[in-house]
A and B are shown apart, each in its own frame.
Chain A
Amino acid sequence: MQMKTRKPKLAVWKFASCDGCQLSLLDCEDELLAVAGEIEIANFVEASRAVVQGPYDLSLVEGSITTPHDAERIHKIRRQSKHLVTIGACATAGGIQALRNFKDVKEFISIVYATPEYISTLNKSTPISDHVFVDFELRGCPINKMQLVEVISAFLNHRRPNTPPHSVCVECKQRQTVCVMVAQGIACLGPVTHAGCGAVCPAYNRGCYGCYGPKETPNTASLSAWWKHLGTSEESLVRAFRGFNAYAEAFRKESEAHEAKK
């Protein structure tokens, strides 16, 4: 007998971000129509005018919380979502806009805007998990679109996504890229950075710059010692850890340690 099944409902939500991570879904040119055949795209305003009411089986959340309004909106989204997955460095670590967290945001507003009183913003840019329970965090600035397909597929099939938490170094070995730090003396964040990008920078003769945030149990102090051995200044170390995942705990603590030594 044929069972009548309802297609799972997918929603995509945006907070402070560049749109790049949700664009990854539209960049799945070969998979998009197949994915759309398996799920109901119920709320994805970047792609569609048609909005289906919640609750939603899976909510993908892009962007960080930076305004009082957004701090409330994320709770409403959580209440409507069976599973909530954050996509990208903004949603999982506060993003590049979390650089404000190390400074006075009032000064930032007056640098950019002529009439600061029109601007409503919080002092800090924070990840979604600071506000609501998050079922899974997909890393990256931007995320890897094949990992996104894996995450969607995993949640539809009631299993954990397979996104290894080891370092970028492992991906260099898998790709058979010769270590740029050992062979060329190029400073590289690969040893402390979460895998997922496919170790793209070293393959282009460039050191990793940490788009995917800290790996599991990163030894940032040891890596900093290596960078110093290569001639990196304390100021440069602060900047290196203060990038797209500046507010992720391991990177934040390491940058603060070097800032104190400046």
Chain B
Amino acid sequence: MSAHGKSRTIKVGYLARVEGEGGLYIRVKDNKVADVKLKIFEPPRFFEAFLRGRQFTEAPDITSRICGICPIAYQMSACQAMEDALGVKVEGPLRDLRRMIYCGEWIESHTLHIYMLHAPDFLGYPDAIRMAKDHPDIVQRGLRLKKTGNELISFLGGREIHPINIRVGGFYKVPEKKALESLRDNFQWAREAALETVKWVSTFEFPDFEQDYEFVSLSHPDEYPIHEGRIISNRGMDIAVRDFDQTFEEEHVEHSNALHSIIKGRGAYFAGPLARYNLNFDKLSPLVKEAANAAGIDSQCHNPFKSIVVRSLEVLYACDEVLRLIDRYQKPDKPAIDIKPRTAIGYGCTEAPRGILYHRYRLDEAGTILDAKIVPPTSQNQKTIENDLRQFVPGVLNLSDEELTLRCEQAIRNYDPCISCATHFLKLDIQRE
């Protein structure tokens, strides 16, 4: 259909450079957006159903299979929920090791998105491999940075994807101080590469697109939130993780196999790097604050297209944090705390690379899971992505269908959506009438 006609439909049958399967349908009537549907047709896999009857010790390994890109997030939220249920707290060096491996996942996942999935949009390439023909050094740097994150995950977790060393109560095996220190040189290189990444992405051109969002993230009194904290927002929310179900609810809409999560009585919200950054800027290290300043990013950033810069700042933070934690590490006496099952309900929430990831489990006296609930970040952002497109599309309707489709895809990729997680994405479908 003509770009200049009165009505127009844009369809992206199969969204590329996102994790999982989805599509987008937009109907435009008289130059107004009449309908936006982010369609998730990733087939459902029913994790919450088959977790019933499994042992509490199995939840970290089983739920990690929800997502191959952020398995540690699933393992950590599951462990935290089980430890909450069973009345134990992982502290000291074991807690530091968890934070360290989680930093590895942020580095690996964010760098994948920055270099391989998102940057090609800004520079006009279909993918990073073709981008590498013109910018070999930049793509090589991205690959090595991503590899540094993966090497940390392999070192502490046994392997990059679905690590095997994380358990309820701690780890199966903890490293010697000396072995951990062997990673230091790599992370010193990575910190420099992360700084270069921030500089590089801050030179991109960003559409002028600021929205008034309710940002939701964890918050911790002493540190930038990764694996522990209360859930807060910029509109006054400040709740314990156990109050998640009273504050949020999930809706089942026809066009998506992923449930839509909303704040009760208020609606859509925004989770992920931008939310963490805006709500916790003061907890970033001096190096990161300085880099943000140099990149022209204020302590508040409400433009989702600039999420690529914020993601780069978080990679820099994660590298800085790994170095700090390596320095203070002392090998603990035992790799895990002893745990006894009991009848209880436990709640866990950690910051997956894409935003808060909530788990809740009810256990019987033998530690068997009676029911489970999992709310992944992409299902929380689905409504906000649709709202963004409603606001964004009218300003770019003069573009050809091809260009418009590309810009819509970019607007979706701002959220680094992980559709495997959310159904546990994207075909674009724009209809102009």
Q: B-contacting residues of A (Cβ < 8 Å)?
A: 14-21, 23-24, 26-27, 29-30, 32-33, 36, 41, 44-51, 66-67, 70, 95-97, 99-100, 103, 105, 107-109, 111-115, 118-119, 121, 125, 141-142, 197, 200-201, 203-206, 209, 211, 236, 239, 244
Contacts and interface: CB of A to CB of B under 8 A. Distances in A.
Nearest to A35: B129
B164 to A, nearest CB: 5
Interface in B170-215: 172-173
A135 B142 CA distance: 34
A23 B69 contact: yes
A200 to B, nearest CB: 5
Interface residues of B, number: 70
A103 B54 CA distance: 14
B147 interface: yes
A33 B139 CA distance: 9
A99 B50 contact: yes
Contacts of A119: 44, 257
Contacts of A50: 126-127, 130
Contacts of B16: 45-49, 51
Given A111-B48, A112-B48, A204-B173, A66 B17 contact: no
A204 B126 contact: no
B150 interface: yes
10 closest Cβ contacts across the A-B interface? A20-B68, A48-B127, A50-B126, A108-B49, A99-B50, A29-B147, A97-B45, A142-B161, A114-B252, A111-B49
Contact of A29 (B68, B146, B250, B335): B146
A145 to B, nearest CB: 8
A97 B63 CA distance: 11
B58 interface: yes
Contacts of A99: 50
B388 to A, nearest CB: 20
Interface in B11-66: 14-21, 42-50, 52, 54-55, 58, 61-62, 65-66
Contact of B161 (A27, A48, A244): A27
Contacts, number: 185
Contact of A16 (B45, B55, B67, B140): B45
B132 interface: yes
Nearest to A240: B58
A18 B164 contact: no
A45 B45 CA distance: 21
Contacts of B130: 48, 50
A21 B162 CA distance: 10
Given A14-B21, A206-B164, A49 B126 contact: yes
Nearest to A20: B68
Contacts of A197: 159
Nearest to B257: A119
A240 to B, nearest CB: 10
A67, A111, A203: which has the most chain B beta carbons within 10 Å?
A: A111
A239 B61 CA distance: 13
Interface string B384-402: 0000000000000000000
A239 B55 contact: yes
A36 B161 contact: no
25 contacts: A18-B71, A19-B19, A19-B420, A20-B67, A20-B161, A29-B144, A30-B147, A33-B139, A36-B129, A45-B16, A47-B17, A48-B126, A49-B127, A49-B409, A50-B126, A50-B127, A96-B65, A103-B50, A111-B46, A112-B49, A113-B252, A114-B251, A114-B259, A118-B254, A201-B164
B146 A115 contact: no
B18, B49, B52, B54: which has the most chain A beta carbons within 10 Å?
A: B49
B252 A115 contact: yes
Contacts of A45: 14-17
B65 A244 contact: yes
B160 interface: yes
A41 B127 CA distance: 10
A259 B144 CA distance: 48
B165 interface: yes
A105 B173 CA distance: 38
Nearest to A36: B129
A236 B367 CA distance: 13
